[in-house]
Amino acid sequence: MPVPQQSVAMTSTRSPAIEAKGLVKEFRGPEGAVRAVDGLDLVVWPGEVVAFLGPNGAGKTTTLDLVLGLAAPTSGTVRVFGKKPAGAIADGQVAAALQDGGFLRDITVFETVELTAALFGRTGSVTPFLERAGIAQIARRKVGKCSGGQQQRLRFAMALVSEPDLLLLDEPTTGMDVQGRRDFWTAIRHDAEAGRTVVFATHYLQEADSYADRIVLVSHGRVVADGTVAEVKALAGSSNLEDVFLALTADRADGTTTATTAEGVNR
């Protein structure tokens, strides 16, 4: 995959890319309120590549929705580059490649990215974004004829169009083959070196181990571990991230988990 040919236009602000304080999100269910996010505190600094990990139902996707302004918190606050999410998005600082969301299946890959660019007021060629996502060779293919992995790459290209300061990725390499995953993460690392902040949720723990600067592990809507890969592994006394994941998200008898920082202090 080609190296990006232009530098990302990064914000000069010294504010965190993401700052969440006491973030809570409740949904009403048949048996009352269900708390998907439970007092989550999180700070992500510009230029970090952060893996956001947790079991199914841990609150990862809901947290990303709150950061994107797709849902409003029940309580607590979330700021993106010091602004409310809607403000940062309106300024073109944030983009996302999510698992869900449909495509217009009867137009081409090129036309899809071109349409996205038009929505952002971009008038230049979209070919560089196709190249960075590794799909330039299928630019004339109809989206409905693309494989799952190719559609994931298309979502990535669409997210790149605004040249965002913060890129949020939900299971970004699902459906990609081994080479596709490697090319994708090569592109992400190049963007991070240029200053872009990347937060990604994934079930592929090896990707977190290999490509993240930092791991934030969540369970039951709370952060249970936060630190570099080495620091998080040290918390569970294991060099195997899968073992660490299971140990730190295992439910105790009272239905809760033990939350620890990278320094190993319970909280």
Q: Are 187 and 132 in contact (CB under 8 A)?
A: yes
Whether 254 shows a pLDDT value over 60: the answer reads no
| pLDDT, tens digit, 9 for 90 and up, residues 87-137 | 999 888 999 988 766 789 999 999 999 999 998 888 889 999 999 999 999
Whether 2 shows a pLDDT value over 80: the answer reads no
**Better-scored residue on pLDDT, 174 or 46:** 46
Phi/psi at 183 (5° precision): -65, -40
Hey, which residues does 25 pair with through a beta bridge?
37
Measure the CA angle with vertex 60, ends 195 and 45; round to 5°: 25
Contacts of 34 (CB under 8 A, 6+ apart): 26, 27, 28
Which whole-number Å values give the CA distances from 185 to 54, 79, 204, in the listed order?
A: 20, 27, 13
pLDDT for the residue 251: 66
Question: What's the chain's average pLDDT?
Answer: 86
Whether 266 shows a pLDDT value over 50: the answer reads no
Residue count of the chain, please give it.
Answer: 267
